[in-house]
Amino acid sequence: MAKKRASKKNPPLDKRLAQSGKEELIEIIKAVVKREPAMKEVVDLAMAAPKPGKPMNVSVYRKQARRTMETESPEAIENGLKDLRDAAARLAKSGDWLNAGAIYHVALDEAVDGYDDDVHSMDRNGDICIVMDELAEGLGKALEKSRADARTRWDWIETMLEAQLSDIDLGGIDLAPSAEEAVLKFANDEE
């Protein structure tokens, strides 16, 4: 399908939104959510983004990951996990490795917890496992690059170890092989 070009009468959406006032944007968002209730999750994730230099409340991300893993569509699970991965990647790209790690952590934790035999049977091409591995890889980078305290580091390592154990329980399906690599590479002797 060919993309429509914006005409002079109908400029691109981002330009039209940029010309709108705050109250008008609020009404637009409310109308979109009313029409498509699933869009509330997108708004919730956007609103949960941390302010520069402030720790974030990851409960919204955890709830989103849990809801994602409870869906019955492998495409919805894959896309939901990708949304979380991308939110963490944006923070990592800006240098906020601690908050990026927090999102990678809750997303991987909920994904590992929710990846049971039913999800495995839906994941015929391993696409969900691939995204879970990307979450583990991101969490490993956050373990390396952030200045997380000892408790946070242990929580992250524990989630990666859980990914390894789940992989073994499922018969060695390469659930998130980057988890093992990250633990071996970035965990210190005490951990």
Nearest to 181 by CA among 127, 141, 132: 141
Give the C-alpha separation, 128 to 131, whole Å: 5
Q: Per the domain annotation, does 11 fall within a domain?
A: no
The angle at the Cα of 44, spanning 112 to 91, to the nearest 5 degrees, equals 65
Q: Per the domain annotation, does 84 fall within a domain?
A: yes
pLDDT of residue 151: 95
Q: Per the domain annotation, does 39 fall within a domain?
A: no
Phi-psi region of 102 (alpha: psi -120 to 50; beta: other; left: phi over 0): alpha
Q: Per the domain annotation, does 158 fall within a domain?
A: yes
Q: Per the domain annotation, does 22 fall within a domain?
A: no
Query: What residue ranges in the chain does DSSP mark as E strands?
Result: none
Q: Per the domain annotation, does 7 fall within a domain?
A: no
pLDDT of residue 169: 93
Q: Per the domain annotation, does 19 fall within a domain?
A: no
pTM for the whole thing?
Answer: 0.79
pLDDT of residue 3: 52
Give the C-alpha separation, 68 to 161, whole Å: 22
Alpha carbon of 62 to those of 13, 23, 44, 148: distances in Å? 31, 30, 12, 19
Total structural domains within the chain: 1
Amino acid letter for position 134 = E
Per-residue pLDDT tens, the chain, 191 aa: give them.
555 554 556 788 888 888 888 888 878 878 877 888 777 777 776 766 666 556 678 999 999 999 999 999 999 999 999 999 999 999 999 999 999 999 999 999 999 999 999 999 999 999 999 999 999 999 999 999 999 999 999 999 999 999 999 999 999 999 999 999 999 999 888 88
Give the C-alpha separation, 57 to 79, whole Å: 22
pLDDT of residue 29: 79
Domain assignment of residue 72, given as a range: 58-186
Give the C-alpha separation, 191 to 182, whole Å: 13
Q: Per the domain annotation, does 51 fall within a domain?
A: no
Give the C-alpha separation, 85 to 130, whole Å: 12
pLDDT of residue 8: 59
